[in-house]
Chains A and B, each alone.
Chain A
Amino acid sequence: MADTKAKPGQPKQGLLLDIRNLRIEATVYPPGEPPKNIVLVHDVSLTLEKGKVLGLIGESGAGKSTIGLSSMGYGRGGVRITGGEVLLNGRDILKGGKEGFRKLRGREVCYVAQSAAAAFNPAHRLMDQVVEATLLHGTATRAEAEKRAVALFKKLSLPNPETIGERFPHQVSGGQLQRVMTAMALCSEPDLIVFDEPTTALDVTTQIDVLAAIKEAIRDTHVAALYITHDLAVVAQVSDEIMVLRDGKKVEHGETRRIIEAPRTDYTKALVSVRSIEHEEKELTPTALLSVRGATAAYGGGVVKVLQNVSVDVRPGQTLAVVGESGSGKSTLARVVTGLLPPISGSITFAGRTLAPRLAARSKDDLRELQMIYQMADVAMNPRQPVGTIIGRPLEFYFGMRGRERDHRVAELLDEIEMGKGFMDRYPAELSGGQKQRVCIARALAAKPKLIICDEVTSALDPLVANGILKLLLNLQQHEKVAYLFITHDLATVKSIADSIAVMYRGEVVRYGAKSKVLTPPFDAYTDLLLSSVPEMEIGWLEKAIKGRRIESGGH
């Protein structure tokens, strides 16, 4: 190995990774049926030159992580590589056996996981974990490795690079942890790093920092990388080439610029244009359906104030989008409106009535007319209830519908969310992510509400699926004249659905008004940061955005 490895700081040339006709299978065990093999990756080939970055993009289940992990000969959860060759530095790593993998992993190929919070061992200090692989492979002494780590911390612009290694994982923020993990991957000076959705779990304002740090580190260390993500705009910033995958098959492969500017297949075209739903802003009506006045709320008996003097209005049949990063208090606002967290002060008026602050004190009609849809559709539905019960229960509960009448209405609702009535006796585990969210929407609609609170309803979904959900919500708004309080951190979503916008920062509304007004300069510093942090499908956007920023992000 030593002779093929160029000194750090010099660009390397030649082929690094050559995956040929990779075939990956897994055995599934459906209860009551004989186990069967399913093919996850169908004969995918790819090559990666030294020092280059290849972006793997696709929806969940496209096989992008599976292919990424195959470059280190790893199959997650019973997944088997059953065909093809993975040539790394000219040798087929699949033939190396367990010993071969041990020598390879953490030395030639390193991995950066999506959730840094879950990937670090909370019981060990960061430095010990960062240098662990280097020490195990014996490529450097502890002192050398730690020096290298500190240099990497500096390069990744972590605060206090000299001492941050002393901390435990819970003592640094999510964005910082993700950068520490990148340092961990770079520490053993590998030839290839697999980035598995490294910024997906981060806030948009933090994502840009991590992205810039990763990009710079890749450039300076000349390491090659596989960058896995479902966000085309993100991958466009860091990679030289992009491969689009779907259902374990290659859809399109080419230079980043070519893929973005001249996509050839329909699927790639859909991915590129995913963020462009046209939504005509509605005229603001004088009367409000829901108005929150001076709401202040706190957790821990008034010690931690999470909402301070918030006043917003939702107009009948219109959408108010509440945007902000994690910890800005947007979900708390939803909890206050629903009555789950009674505010310390302030009032909420809904359809002309003053709502009781506590959930228990509200009338059945108050509850019925104000429904909620959650971010995680899988935990928002009881896994032991079939779809018919999930949607049918509000009908029984609010309208006393039973038997055939109820089933009939459930079927109607299923039609409205573009699912057939065949879904009636399916369980949530038998639905896809998008279908689950649709069922949650139907459950909310069943109550014939005037207002639906949508808490990050599209954040957990793939872009194309999320797009479908947004279109559905807009359609339903037209038919049912329902108003939405739409909570999100994604400004692209806001642009396509909102009539008015409230930007929240640290528990306060910093900017509020009609959509066109909020999105027109001059901006306040935070709105500017938020707007400029949304990745755009344009090469070189990252550098421009970093340069143009006025305030630092909170680093959540």
Chain B
Amino acid sequence: MLDIKRIPIPALIGIVLTTLFVLAALFAPWIAPHGNGEIIGDVWEPMSSAHWLGTDNLGRDLLSRMIYGARITLFIAVLATALSFSLGAILGFSAAVFGGWYDTLLSRLVDLLMSIPTLIMALVVLSVLPTNLITLILVMGILDSTRVYRLSRAVAVDINVMDYVEAAKLRGEGSGWIIFREILPNALSPLVSELGLRFIYAVLFLSTLSFLGLGVQPPDADWGGMVKENKDGIVFGIGAALIPAAAIAMLAISVNLVADWVLNRTTSLKGGRG
């Protein structure tokens, strides 16, 4: 069904890059030439054959840090996006199907959450709660799920009035079938495109939090945290901060290339058979 030759080039680039990032994240301890916190040289050494990307502000190998950073960044972003999507989509679909006070209650609650700027909300919550991975993922996931809720509710409201959903209701189907079998497959296209975007927002959000010191705590670091660690070097003309920044950009682009392609495939109403 999946023929490599039929994948368009942008999607192929996206797939290759994303796979590389994922592999780096999965096999970090085996790939990385040095340990995550190991100090192996001078501060901010330039790129060399020994240290491909040079060293960072404490003299740690930047390439190794990048690879471990990929692990943390992807792990948190994936879990947060998964949480926000399952939460947002299920609540959004059920609000559309059940309607009435359930819908009103949920929608106003979401409005309330959305009326507070996400970053400020996250900063407040994270500074009160203990900063660990679980809180970080929960906070990011729940805050982001409000957006997904709005989108999936809007999409599902339109689908819910289609004749085929009415036919299913007339058959006596329960809400489980209606939500997962009638609505979800038809709402997938906008959700998938949103998924790519939301994942990247999660990466960026995490980077922002880490940059502000509320995200991943040292000695571990995600890419955002690494930008922060090395930002002082820019003043001296040392580009170490730009490398994690470039990695974030590259991940953002490649994931969206893949999402675009998946979107194209899922919009086909002929089961992708043509």
Which of A27-35, A225-233, A280-288, A401-409 forms part of the interface with chain B?
Answer: A27-35
In the complex formed, the residue of B with least CB distance to A447 is B171
User: What are the residues of chain B within 8 A of A382 when measuring CB–CB?
Assistant: 164, 168, 181-182, 185-186
Knowing A32-B6, A394-B171 touch, does A379 contact B272 (C-beta < 8 A)?
no
Judge whether A161 is part of the interface by a CB distance below 8 angstroms: no
A 311-367 contacts with B by CB, 8 A: 338-340, 359, 362, 364, 367
User: What are the residues of chain B within 8 A of A32 when measuring CB–CB?
Assistant: 3, 6, 272-274
Q: How many residues of B contact A (CB 8 A)?
A: 25
Knowing A381-B164, A384-B185 touch, does A340 contact B270 (C-beta < 8 A)?
no
In the complex formed, the residue of B with least CB distance to A444 is B167
Judge whether B104 is part of the interface by a CB distance below 8 angstroms: no
In the assembly, what is the distance between CA of A31 and CA of B274, in Å? 5
User: What are the residues of chain B within 8 A of A386 when measuring CB–CB?
Assistant: 271
Q: How many residues of A contact B (CB 8 A)?
A: 34
| Smallest CB separation, A277 vs chain B (Å) | 26
Judge whether A525 is part of the interface by a CB distance below 8 angstroms: no
Judge whether B173 is part of the interface by a CB distance below 8 angstroms: yes
The residue among B169, B270, B273 with the most chain A CB atoms within 10 A of its own CB is: B270
Judge whether B269 is part of the interface by a CB distance below 8 angstroms: yes
Knowing A32-B6, A397-B172 touch, does A383 contact B274 (C-beta < 8 A)?
no
Judge whether A427 is part of the interface by a CB distance below 8 angstroms: yes
Knowing A393-B171, A394-B171, A397-B173 touch, does A429 contact B166 (C-beta < 8 A)?
no
| Smallest CB separation, A370 vs chain B (Å) | 8
Judge whether A270 is part of the interface by a CB distance below 8 angstroms: no
| Smallest CB separation, A424 vs chain B (Å) | 13
In the complex formed, the residue of B with least CB distance to A394 is B171
User: What are the residues of chain B within 8 A of A381 when measuring CB–CB?
Assistant: 164, 167
| Smallest CB separation, B179 vs chain A (Å) | 13
In the assembly, what is the distance between CA of A397 and CA of B170, in Å? 12
Taking a contact as CB atoms under 8 Å apart, the answer to whether B271 and A359 are in contact is: no
B 157-180 contacts with A by CB, 8 A: 162-164, 166-173
User: What are the residues of chain A within 8 A of B168 when measuring CB–CB?
Assistant: 382
| Smallest CB separation, A362 vs chain B (Å) | 8
Judge whether A175 is part of the interface by a CB distance below 8 angstroms: no
Judge whether B268 is part of the interface by a CB distance below 8 angstroms: yes
Knowing A374-B163, A381-B164 touch, does A31 contact B270 (C-beta < 8 A)?
yes
User: What are the residues of chain A within 8 A of B169 when measuring CB–CB?
Assistant: 340, 359
In the complex formed, the residue of B with least CB distance to A380 is B163
User: What are the residues of chain B within 8 A of A383 when measuring CB–CB?
Assistant: 186, 269
Knowing A31-B272, A382-B186, A428-B269 touch, does A340 contact B164 (C-beta < 8 A)?
no
Taking a contact as CB atoms under 8 Å apart, the answer to whether A367 and B172 are in contact is: yes
B 199-229 contacts with A by CB, 8 A: none
In the assembly, what is the distance between CA of A383 and CA of B268, in Å? 10
User: What are the residues of chain A within 8 A of B271 when measuring CB–CB?
Assistant: 386, 425, 427
Taking a contact as CB atoms under 8 Å apart, the answer to whether A367 and B182 are in contact is: no
The residue among A30, A31, A368, A430 with the most chain B CB atoms within 10 A of its own CB is: A31
Taking a contact as CB atoms under 8 Å apart, the answer to whether B270 and A429 are in contact is: yes
Partner of B167 from the list A359, A362, A374 (CB cut-off 8 Å) is A374
Judge whether A41 is part of the interface by a CB distance below 8 angstroms: no
In the assembly, what is the distance between CA of A319 and CA of B268, in Å? 39
User: What are the residues of chain A within 8 A of B181 when measuring CB–CB?
Assistant: 382, 385
Q: List chain B positions with a Cβ less than 8 A from chain A.
A: 3, 6, 162-164, 166-173, 181-182, 185-186, 265, 268-274
16 interchain pairs (CB within 8 A)?
A30-B274, A31-B270, A31-B274, A339-B170, A340-B170, A359-B169, A362-B172, A367-B172, A372-B167, A380-B164, A382-B168, A382-B182, A384-B269, A397-B173, A425-B271, A430-B270
